Amino acid sequence: MVEDTGVTKQEISEQFGKQVAELVDGLSKLDKIEFQSATQAQAENFRKMLLAMSQDVRVILVKLADRLHNMSTLDVMKPEKQKRIARETLDIYAPIANRLGLNEIYQTLEDLSFKYLYPMRYRVISKAVMAARGNRKEVVGKILDSIRQRLKDQHIDAEVTGREKHLYSIYKKMTGKTVTFSQIYDIYGFRVVVRDLPTCYHTLGLLHGLYKPIPGKFKDYIAIPKANGYQSLHTTLFGPFGTPIEVQIRSREMHNIADAGVAAHWLYKTTDAHLTALQQQTHQWLQRLLDIQSESSDSLEFLEHFKVDLFPDEVYVFTPKGTIMALPKGATAVDFAYAVHTDIGNRCVAVKINQELAPLRTELHNGDHVEIITAAHAHPNPAWLNYVLTGKARAHIRHYLKSMQSTESALLGERMLNQALRALHANPSTIDDNAWQRLVRDYGAKSKDEILADVGLGKRLNVMVAHQLMAQAGQQEGGAPKLPSKVLDTITIRGSEGMAVQFAQCCRPIPGDPILGFINKDKGLVIHTHDCPAIRKFRLDPDKWLDVEWDPQGHRLYKVSLKLVVANRRGMLAKIASTIAEAESNIDNVSMEEADNSTYTNMNFTVQVENRVHLAELMRRLRKIPDVVRINRVKGAGNEQRVQ
């Protein structure tokens, strides 16, 4: 144990060999690094262990054995430590064991975690299972005998056993379906292990002849295995006295994999050509971990994405070539796109599900045929984060948005800094690289771009950075920097700055409106109209705002809210929509008040226009419609403005 002794990795390598040294290193804690919090330290330990696991899966096998032993001896710990370790085991280690197909370890870890997290519930359910065991003994014995006899009559050599569901799965079923213990009938299940795959289906037919199957309760995990390689036929039957019984049917090889999972036949010195299907699935999962890690900026974010990727419930969908892909339940078309390939995810624009076009946010279901449509210049949309489910998709989208925001913010920050330097009578081109390097070192930043991005995002004041930069360049005399009164150049807003500049939703400014730029520490530079009520309190603080003006050459479209009072006649919406289209505008959103048989009704439109002149032309055309009584531009809640 490298972290608890003076032994080094080199000494272990010399005594036990390089492989053992790598395994020990993968499991060793990072005690010598100082972290901001215990949570961050723990997250970094997970990150290191999981990355080591992606190189050699035995790292996690050793860790799971260690965790199983820790959980078995948890009695001696204080209650709060018991709960912390149990929660960590339930959130991270049990799902990993499940993902690797280590069924027995998975169930044992869940039950032990349950015991320490909810001791009273554990005791109650444990006692109820013991009582039920006695009550149902006769029924279970009768079912076992009848199954064995039916298979024997058909000359099928099979091992038939009864099994109890483990306690935590009973508890999950009770809480998930909101039922009492007495309403759970499949506490006992039956397992039939036969010689080979064809015999599994033959046995299924015989059992369906013996007891009637319950419709919709059959699952074929042989044709479509679970992501961890698990294969079995699951069926639920009406047993004697109307008791539902759950039966699993599998071959001997499937049974070994179900118990030991990836450890059943993990080959270490093998080529990809000889990898079993289970090993390939495990390898793909570990590869996904590496992808998530490469896109995650810190260990806590990596751990968050990793937890998302441990979902046990899955849906199985088909690619256009017929390949089966497993995704978490609730995954969308965007998750599928990233699961196929990162580039497909980054460039997806539409999806065909079962040969029909559908929105990218569409949730996928078992058996769907999914085809992603891409475009060369497309890129991830921030709105995707509201509905993607997989860790890989979330990590790649966040990484792209962060890099884009950083690049755009750095460009804006450079313009703001140059503005401040000119106000201090300094030429930005005279600031050399040495001055920048000294400033980067003083700030503890990684690069010049990081400082510029901070200026663009409002995390650093452009005037203060300009003073310090001039001091580094030797262009300013000693003493405290004097902040200039508002003599800064005006920053031109082109509308193409991307995420670095945001247009306030409260007043929706458009070219032609008098505007002010406000520096928000979370959002960067936010553009408001000069009379927006939301910024009244900031106008007294000159450090919060910048002089900005519209670029006369800008040609992008901006959203504007309009409120129309119209006569309540048939076809009004069609007339208005047609007029908006003729004015070369586009409707972004429309809502109406419910009809109450009154003569007039309110219509609210969000339309896209180029500038104030374009808006005035659109409103002039709308006023010409005979049944339009009044039209207002809406600028913030309760702040309507007539545009003449």
Catalytic residues: 3-4
Q: Which residues have CB under 8 Å from 332's CB, separation 6+?
A: 360, 361, 362, 363, 364, 387, 388, 389
In 3D space, the residue among 281, 413, 250, 306 whose CA is nearest the CA of residue 46 turns out to be 306
SS3 state at 34:
coil
DSSP state of 498: G
Task: Produce one character per residue of 565-594: b if its CB has 16 or more CB atoms within 10 Å, e if not.
Answer: ebeeeeebeebbeebbeebebeeeeeeeee
Which residue type, as a one-letter code, is found at position 631?
I
The single-letter code of the amino acid at 432 is D
Task: Measure Cα distances from 401 to 303, 309, 346, 395, 408 in Å.
Answer: 19, 21, 11, 10, 10
φ, ψ of residue 482 to 5 degrees: the values are -100, 125
Sign of the torsion angle spanned by Cα atoms 20, 22, 28, 33? positive
CA distances to 73, 164, 301 from 60, rounded to whole Å, are: 20, 28, 21
Contacts by 170-175, CB closer than 8 A, 24 or more apart: 170/125, 170/129, 171/114, 171/118, 171/121, 171/125, 174/125
Q: Is the dihedral of CA 249, 255, 260, 265 positive or negative?
A: negative
Cβ–Cβ contacts within 10 Å for residue 179, how many? Answer: 11
CA dihedral angle for residue 423, residue 427, residue 428, residue 433, rounded to 10 degrees:
-140
**Distance set, CA 248 to CA 110, 234, 237 (Å):** 21, 5, 11
